């Protein structure tokens, strides 16, 4: 797992060095338009993101945790006015030991599936939005890699594109509907605000602030919230004829439960399939 993480980050850095070459293979307007679609979680575009979250100082032994999220997005046209945008997250986890003598556990975590009903046209104020259910499946290959529960809840996303800025947020909350024997209920919220600035003179390049904030409402007082702060940079380019979105970011958890990681590197490679 560690080798695959280093390979993914190396690919991102090498590709970044060839951005100018890739830009010559597409028009500037194409790069700018693809960047805006890449920053819209419910764009009418098939995409296949690979997102590596490398979490440092995790657990009482302060070891690193690695999570590779494979996150296919598939939009479905319902009629002339509405789309249904499905988002699936398959986490592949390398979990560090939490006690002396305990080994590292590698495997699959709980799969997340969201479905957003979204109007094809923005509102009169320029807002793009979607809402629907989210399902967390009890699919972990080991007890240490999942919550041992099936959970369900609402999810929503809203955003606005104004000049070089893309701002919005994704939010969901899930409650367990079935738990493994002896495990506690699940009641968790996720909020991911995002503020992106697209460089007008470098089409396809952008700065991104998109921390993943979580709240575990079943945790003890003072242990509920994880709040990261940080920044990332992204570039939309092409590998041959294939459009991709590259992003590299770092976040520090300014608020966190006792055994949560202190900071994180997030590397992302997204294959885009515009219509």
CATH number at residue 243: 2.40.160.40
CA dist 234 and 212 (Å) reads 17
CA dist 37 and 203 (Å) reads 13
Count of structural domains within the chain:
1
Q: SS3 of 156, please?
A: strand
Query: What pLDDT score was predicted for residue 28?
Result: 63
Q: Is the pLDDT of residue 88 over 60?
A: yes
Contact residues for 27 (Cβ-Cβ < 8 A; gap 6+): none
Q: Mind listing the pLDDT tens digit for each residue in 133-148?
A: 999 999 999 999 999 9
The DSSP element (H or E) to which 20 belongs, if any, is helix 19-23
Q: Is the pLDDT of residue 65 over 60?
A: yes
Tokens representing 30 are 């194409």
Query: What pLDDT score was predicted for residue 36?
Result: 87
Q: How much is the average pLDDT of 76-84? A: 97
CA dist 43 and 236 (Å) reads 15
Q: Which pTM does this prediction carry?
A: 0.89
> How would residue 120 be classed by pLDDT, with cut points 50, 70 and 90?
very high
CA dist 189 and 266 (Å) reads 21
CA dist 245 and 265 (Å) reads 17
The C-alpha angle 194, 245, 128, rounded to 5 degrees, equals 40
Query: What pLDDT score was predicted for residue 25?
Result: 44
Query: What pLDDT score was predicted for residue 3?
Result: 56
Q: How much is the average pLDDT of 169-173? A: 98
Q: How much is the average pLDDT of 227-232? A: 98
Summarize the chain as % helix, strand, coil (round to 5).
Answer: 15, 55, 30
Q: SS3 of 3, please?
A: helix
What mean pLDDT value characterizes the chain? 91
Q: Which domain holds residue 62?
A: 2-273
C-alpha torsion angle, residues 248, 56, 211, 198 (rounded to 10) = -10
Q: How much is the average pLDDT of 212-236? A: 97
- CA torsion sign for 62, 216, 177, 117 is negative
Query: What pLDDT score was predicted for residue 22?
Result: 45
Q: Is the pLDDT of residue 5 over 70?
A: no
Query: What pLDDT score was predicted for residue 13?
Result: 52
> How would residue 32 be classed by pLDDT, with cut points 50, 70 and 90?
confident
Q: How much is the average pLDDT of 179-197? A: 94
């Amino acid at each position: 797992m560690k080798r695959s993480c280093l390979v993914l980050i190396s690919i991102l850095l090498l590709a970044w060095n060839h951005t100018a070459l890739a830009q010559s293979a597409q028009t500037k307007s194409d790069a700018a338009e693809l960047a805006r679609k890449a920053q819209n979680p419910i764009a009418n575009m098939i995409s296949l993101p690979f997102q590596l979250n490398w979490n440092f100082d995790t657990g009482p032994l302060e070891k690193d945790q690695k999570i590779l999220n494979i996150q296919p997005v598939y939009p479905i046209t319902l009629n002339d006015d509405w789309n249904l945008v499905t988002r699936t997250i398959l986490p592949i986890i390398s979990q560090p030991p939490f006690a002396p003598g305990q080994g590292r556990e590698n495997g699959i975590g709980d799969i997340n599936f969201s479905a957003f009903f979204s109007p094809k046209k923005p509102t009169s104020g320029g807002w793009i939005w979607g809402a629907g259910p989210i399902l967390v499946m009890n699919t972990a290959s080991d007890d240490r890699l999942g919550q041992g529960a099936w959970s369900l809840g609402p999810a929503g996303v809203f955003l606005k594109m104004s000049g070089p800025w893309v701002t919005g947020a994704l939010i969901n909350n899930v409650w367990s509907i079935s738990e493994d024997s002896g495990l506690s209920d699940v009641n968790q919220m996720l909020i991911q605000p995002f503020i992106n600035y697209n460089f007008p003179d470098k089409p396809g390049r952008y700065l991104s602030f998109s921390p993943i904030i979580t709240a575990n409402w079943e945790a003890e007082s003072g242990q509920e919230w994880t709040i990261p702060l940080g920044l990332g940079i992204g570039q939309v380019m092409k590998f041959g004829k294939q459009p991709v979105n590259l992003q590299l970011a770092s976040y520090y958890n300014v608020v966190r439960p006792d055994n949560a990681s202190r900071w994180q590197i997030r590397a992302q490679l997204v294959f885009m399939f515009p219509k």
